[in-house]
Structure formats: C-alpha cells, structure tokens
C-alpha cells in the first residue's frame, strides 16, 4: 500500500460531502424543527450500516437537539415483523404501527433499492408523513424518487456513501443545535 490510496480515498469522501446542496440541508433542518414544534416525531430507518447510523443519529437528535426520534433496530421487532409480514415489509409495518400523520420518516439506503426501505417510504406517504431520503449509487434509484427532500451521493462504494450520509445527518443535528460542538478554539 502507498499513500496514494488514502489520498484518493479522502478525495472521494470530500467530493461526496461537498456535493450536497446546502439549501436542502437547511430545508431538512427546518422540516425537522417544524415536526418537533407541533409534537410529532422523527422515525429513522436503514439496513446494516445504515441501521447503525439510524441508531446513532436518533440518539443525537433526542439527546443533543431535544427532538423526539426513534429507530427500529430491535431484534425482536425485526424478526417478528419479518416472520409475520416478510422482510420486504418489515419497515412498512413498523411505520404503520408506530407512525402518526405529521411525523417525519428519514430513510437511509446506500443503493436506494432495498425493498423494505422503499416500501416504508410508500407507506409513510399514504399515512401523511413527510419523507427525507439518503441514498447513493444510481441517481434514479427508487428511494430517491419518493422523498420530499432527497439526498444522494454519486458513488457506488458503500463506505463512501455511508460515511457521507452519516456526516450530512450529523451536520443537520449540529445545525439544529446551532453550534459546531467540536471547534479547535
């Protein structure tokens, strides 16, 4: 290995991070604040690494930003709903059971093609919930077509897409808090 790998790697991450439309980050932040101010909640979902991200971000929204946020990564719920309804409907059923009209569903999927995530977006729209999506790979992926606000990373590399999503989501948390927590000064 040489330093070129890491130099190229970090350039890809930087390109992904800087590709975001700042006005979309502000719109998402404003929507989250609006949802919270009227007593509704955030529901955040994803598979695999995106599920871990959903857990992390939901805690930060709740603890650091004071916004009620939940995610569905409990093994008992996932296995029960998967067994009873099929894995393609696991998040759709969670939205159906726990979502309320006026809530905001944040969906994270690197490919934007995971059937369970796409089905959750469709169900949320039927229940009059707002939807914000985070995806990558193909810009015409199914999830990217379903959100009120859509964030997309132009990469087919899972780690690049996931790290970019994570930083964008945490930037929204910090924007809502109104401070950059970890300044060098």
Residue 9 forms part of a structural domain = no
Expressed as residue numbers, the domain containing 157 is 27-177
pTM across the whole model = 0.94
Give the span between the Cα atoms of 24 and 173, in whole angstroms. 14
Residue 95 forms part of a structural domain = yes
Alpha carbons within 13 A on the beta-carbon side of 13: 15
Structural domain total, the chain: 1
* Structure token digits, residue 20: 């975001």
Supply the CATH number for residue 157's domain. 3.40.50.10490
* Structure token digits, residue 92: 């759709």
In this prediction, residue 180 has a pLDDT band, given cuts at 50, 70 and 90, of low
| Residue 3 in this model has a pLDDT that exceeds 90 | no
In this prediction, residue 183 has a pLDDT band, given cuts at 50, 70 and 90, of very low
Arithmetic mean of pLDDT over the chain = 94
In this prediction, residue 179 has a pLDDT band, given cuts at 50, 70 and 90, of low
DSSP letter at 180 equals -
* Structure token digits, residue 132: 């914000």
Residue 15 forms part of a structural domain = no
Residue 77 forms part of a structural domain = yes
Task: Choose between 73 and 132: higher pLDDT.
Answer: 132
Tens of pLDDT, residues 98-110: 999 999 999 999 9
Asked if residue 41 lies in contact with residue 70, where contact means CB atoms within 8 angstroms, the answer is: yes
Residue 8 forms part of a structural domain = no
Percentage of residues in the chain with pLDDT exceeding 90?
A: 92
| Residue 37 in this model has a pLDDT that exceeds 70 | yes
* Structure token digits, residue 96: 């159906």
Residue 22 forms part of a structural domain = no
Residue 112 forms part of a structural domain = yes
Alpha carbons within 13 A on the beta-carbon side of 72: 29
Mean pLDDT of 56-85: 94
Residue 20 forms part of a structural domain = no
């Amino acid at each position: 290995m040489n330093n070129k790998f890491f130099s190229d790697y970090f350039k890809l991450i930087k390109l992904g991070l800087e590709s975001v439309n700042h006005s979309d980050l502000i719109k998402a932040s404003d929507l989250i604040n609006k949802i919270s101010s009227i007593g509704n909640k955030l529901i955040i979902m994803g598979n695999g690494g995106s599920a871990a991200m959903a857990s992390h971000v939901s805690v930060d929204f709740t603890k650091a930003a004071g916004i009620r946020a939940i995610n569905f990564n409990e093994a008992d719920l996932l296995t029960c709903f998967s067994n009873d309804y099929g894995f393609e409907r696991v998040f759709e059923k969670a939205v159906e059971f726990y979502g309320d009209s006026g809530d905001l569903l944040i969906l994270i999927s690197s490919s934007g093609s995971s059937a369970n995530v796409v089905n959750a977006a469709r169900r949320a729209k039927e229940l009059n919930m707002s939807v914000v999506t985070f995806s990558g790979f193909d810009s015409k992926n199914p999830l990217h077509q379903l959100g009120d606000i859509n964030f997309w990373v132009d990469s087919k590399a899972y780690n690049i897409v996931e790290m970019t999503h994570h930083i964008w989501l945490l930037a929204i948390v910090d924007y809502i808090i109104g401070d950059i927590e970890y300044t060098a000064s």
